[in-house]
Structure 1
């Protein structure tokens, strides 16, 4: 009966959202074949239609320049004398331009791209594949920085659009193609394979469940398509790991299923309404495995007061191993699964407590930033870092994408154990250290069994 109820709720949710935007799925009837000898393998026919659905995105935004007269050094007599001959120093705003890619998902002009491609843009301009001379002004429909997905729209009809693959069917070793506009050189296709699945913990976005690929993804590819050998969309290219900024064969794409769910929500509501369980979670370390029958899952570190988790009877120390009969691999997996569900969804939770396997049910409520910010014992730190006091330690629970904290390399579940010469085990220690050490300071963090040091201010 419960499964039937969930199926009806899911069907109702999809029908409501699909009424606003129809996204066509690729055929589920397909086979994988190994090429024969003495045959030239070409994917031209497979990807030619997908290539037509990838657009170039050009954005511009005005960046306010600081008034030099408000800078501290301007009060110094030496600098005041230096600037005397220049009269009033008037700051000039500058226009920042950037390039990215997007994917047409409907014939009437809806386009999905990365949030960071269009975030803060005053103007968004689209050029279609094969027509670099005609520009189309785009309107921002919705933006979800937590997943790095955005939807924009141009007023055009009968556009070529891409078909979505089921990213749950993607396997390591599948041949994939990245389509985009790297470095502004025009439409480009690069090939590779799926290197890994369900990659997370990079601190790039709040919700991470990346497909990793060695297909070349370079600046300007962001928001473009990652397609399979049929030309069906398996992901939205979003990030690379590189010390130089160029491709080194480690690229990441947002799975198509996640992109579809978020795009539908943005078109329908303008925002993503996420489910809220109310648990602080972490991963099972090697020395804890024996306490949980060597199972993988999400370890409950804390329960928020009056949350769905508390009402369901969950407690600190429980290991959540399944949601709706599907295994939970780690904390990131649970966070993504709950975050992709809508409020009022009823879920079944299987967990381990005291070496016993138990099952409970919870009805998710709505996650909002105000609720998260008001949780007792949380505070912001080091520009983009949110930490929580838990079990005699200060633990990172959120890293804002593209923040200074993310650039420093902080990750969720890192423990801040020392600042300069002061050990940190509570907010009291943290506050004392921050009062004692101003400006730049050495911060020691523990990640699993490794101690690292970063410089923060």
Structure 2
């Protein structure tokens, strides 16, 4: 009897909860064939993307890498009886050198041979070969410039009358827009996949320093990197860059670098050979949780620290100021501010609008060059440091990022801690380091500690050093 009462109570409760009314879709809908009543018509985007397809090239690269040998396996495999039995040539020298080949894609942006691609496709390569669509001719390419902070690079081939792609304004994109990914997946040659724009302005993915990705479910696979993401007109909206995948294949989450960012970076690399960015000199975060309740504006970039002597410091900006707008650009979060300042040049004058103590204020000032605003000197006593470049990255895997140790002063705090020339500082405590700016921020955040744990990459391994 007790069980029946309980069951009856449950059923009564369920009946009450199920009394909700739902909004019903319209009845009597009709299904319409996209091509209408004319069965001789095939729905196709062929004419829209045929020109864009001719603007996407296949890129193959090669480089020689040196791999350290494992002493145990060296002894085992260098045994003369073993090598004679398996007919393996005798190895000489202290390391293994091998040629590594890889594939990618690129997009023609000018009729005279300039091509934009991902930096990771062409970085630290010995040779770059480009194949055009519907052509058996191969072209040797040279790197014009690269920008690891956005993972973009420009290469050039000696050719004329090429099919340059048309650029779309990526700021006009909307979720749900139909897009096509064009590239060279798995080295099978020119291929096209389709999908929609799944999301916009994706950041904190952890791939690049400057992130404002377009997310798409159009299939992007290994080999698509550097290829084109185009809209239904065939205009370039992004450069395919990465996927989220546990298996290495497409899972419907791909990322592309917006065409507006790609255009600005390519222009700078072609005209100057490098990207020069304006430097504000602040640490920032986005408004979250309770911090939104203390500001009149609910969106913006919150300044958490101002570097002494920086452009922001000279302009009078302070910790706690909420940046709302720079020039005509509305700032919704920290990533907006970082990415926008990154498109501006050193010494460029800006108008910055911010909130302080509930009052909206405005200040006009000029940005600095990052090299002027941030010096590596004195960050760690006894060390000369520099950001990784092509020369200092020699024989270092592309997956390793950090700050390169170019000199260690004798009897300094750095030498006592165990630093060596050639070390790459990859982390401070639990914070990964990609450049001098991030190293400076991490050291400041931990300066109150009696010792700081610093991780360095040395001879293929991560090692822990203690800085006191």
TM-score range, shorter chain: 0.7 to 0.9
- Work out whether 1:61 is the aligned partner of 2:67: no
**Correspondence for 1:309 among 286, 293, 312:** 312
- Return 5+ residue gaps in structure 2 as ranges: 1-32, 82-89, 386-398, 404-424, 439-443, 456-460
- Per the TM alignment, residue 371 of structure 1 is displaced from its structure 2 partner at its CA by 2.1
**Correspondence for 1:108 among 102, 106, 112:** 112
- Work out whether 1:202 is the aligned partner of 2:205: yes
Where do residues 88-99 of structure 1 align in structure 2 (5 Å cutoff)?
90=93, 91-99=95-103
**Correspondence for 1:270 among 269, 273, 276:** 273
SS in structure 2 of the partner of residue 98 of structure 1: strand
Corresponding residue number in structure 2 for 1:216: 219
- Per the TM alignment, residue 431 of structure 1 is displaced from its structure 2 partner at its CA by 2.8
Does the Cα contact within 8 Å between 1:203 and 1:409 map onto a contact in 2?
no
Where do residues 337-416 of structure 1 align in structure 2 (5 Å cutoff)?
337-368=340-371, 371=374, 373-374=376-377, 384=401
Tell me how far apart the structure 2 counterparts of residues 244 and 184 of structure 1 sit (CA, whole Å).
18
Higher relative CO (CA 8 A, sep ≥ 6), structure 1 or 2? 1
Tell me how far apart the structure 1 counterparts of residues 426 and 244 of structure 2 sit (CA, whole Å).
17
SS in structure 1 of the partner of residue 270 of structure 2: helix
* TM-score, scaled relative to structure 1: 0.73
Tell me how far apart the structure 2 counterparts of residues 156 and 433 of structure 1 sit (CA, whole Å).
52
Where do residues 274-289 of structure 1 align in structure 2 (5 Å cutoff)?
274-289=277-292
Tell me how far apart the structure 1 counterparts of residues 304 and 181 of structure 2 sit (CA, whole Å).
39
- Per the TM alignment, residue 427 of structure 1 is displaced from its structure 2 partner at its CA by 3.6
- Work out whether 1:130 is the aligned partner of 2:150: no
Does the Cα contact within 8 Å between 1:184 and 1:220 map onto a contact in 2?
yes
- Per the TM alignment, residue 434 of structure 1 is displaced from its structure 2 partner at its CA by 6.1
Distance 1:83 1:43, change over 3 A: closer
Tell me how far apart the structure 2 counterparts of residues 184 and 409 of structure 1 sit (CA, whole Å).
36
Tell me how far apart the structure 1 counterparts of residues 174 and 402 of structure 2 sit (CA, whole Å).
34
Deviates more, 1:266-275 or 1:293-302: 293-302
Tell me how far apart the structure 2 counterparts of residues 273 and 104 of structure 1 sit (CA, whole Å).
23
Cα deviation 1:44-103 (Å, max 9, x = unaligned): 0000000001000000000012255xx6x79xxxx9799675897533310010000000
Corresponding residue number in structure 1 for 2:417: none
Tell me how far apart the structure 2 counterparts of residues 383 and 111 of structure 1 sit (CA, whole Å).
26
Tell me how far apart the structure 1 counterparts of residues 36 and 236 of structure 2 sit (CA, whole Å).
28
Tell me how far apart the structure 1 counterparts of residues 77 and 34 of structure 2 sit (CA, whole Å).
72
Deviates more, 1:282-291 or 1:226-235: 282-291
Tell me how far apart the structure 2 counterparts of residues 409 and 100 of structure 1 sit (CA, whole Å).
31
Tell me how far apart the structure 1 counterparts of residues 372 and 240 of structure 2 sit (CA, whole Å).
27
CA RMSD of aligned residues (A): 3.5
Tell me how far apart the structure 2 counterparts of residues 335 and 148 of structure 1 sit (CA, whole Å).
16
Cα deviation 1:390-430 (Å, max 9, x = unaligned): xxxxxxxxxxxxx987xx99699xx9xxxxxxxx9734548
SS in structure 1 of the partner of residue 176 of structure 2: coil
* TM-score, scaled relative to structure 2: 0.72
Corresponding residue number in structure 2 for 1:399: none
Deviates more, 1:282-291 or 1:214-223: 282-291
Tell me how far apart the structure 2 counterparts of residues 293 and 376 of structure 1 sit (CA, whole Å).
37
SS in structure 2 of the partner of residue 260 of structure 1: helix
Tell me how far apart the structure 1 counterparts of residues 357 and 289 of structure 2 sit (CA, whole Å).
17
Tell me how far apart the structure 1 counterparts of residues 254 and 234 of structure 2 sit (CA, whole Å).
19
Tell me how far apart the structure 2 counterparts of residues 187 and 98 of structure 1 sit (CA, whole Å).
16
